[in-house]
Amino acid sequence: MQQHAAKSSDTARDPLHHTHKMSTKFAEIIDHLRRDIDHVDEPKFKAMFETAAEVMGGLATAFKHYEQKSEAAGDEAARKPR
């Protein structure tokens, strides 16, 4: 039981765990925004939701870049002799 708690604690402290979770949420929000654009005929609404989807896409890209750099740094650290 304590081993499970330690594993959960390690996961909670892992930044990549959190960035992956947020990336999933960003994708869900982007999809929702873009679907809603098709349901409303008001141009300002469409522009606002498309802009919001683009901004969320930028955030998703920033998180992806962070994840890639963190994973690359981890790979590099693993290759270094101790």
Assess if residue 78 is contained within a domain. Answer: no
Question: How many domains would you assign to the chain?
Answer: 1
pLDDT at 81: 60
Assess if residue 76 is contained within a domain. Answer: no
| Parts of the chain with a pLDDT under 50 | 1
Its domain, for residue 53, covers 24-71
Assess if residue 18 is contained within a domain. Answer: no
Whether pTM > 0.85 for this model: the answer is: no
Assess if residue 8 is contained within a domain. Answer: no
Judge residue 26's burial from the number of C-beta atoms within 10 Å of its C-beta, 0-12 exposed, 13-18 middle, 19 or more buried. buried
pLDDT at 6: 53
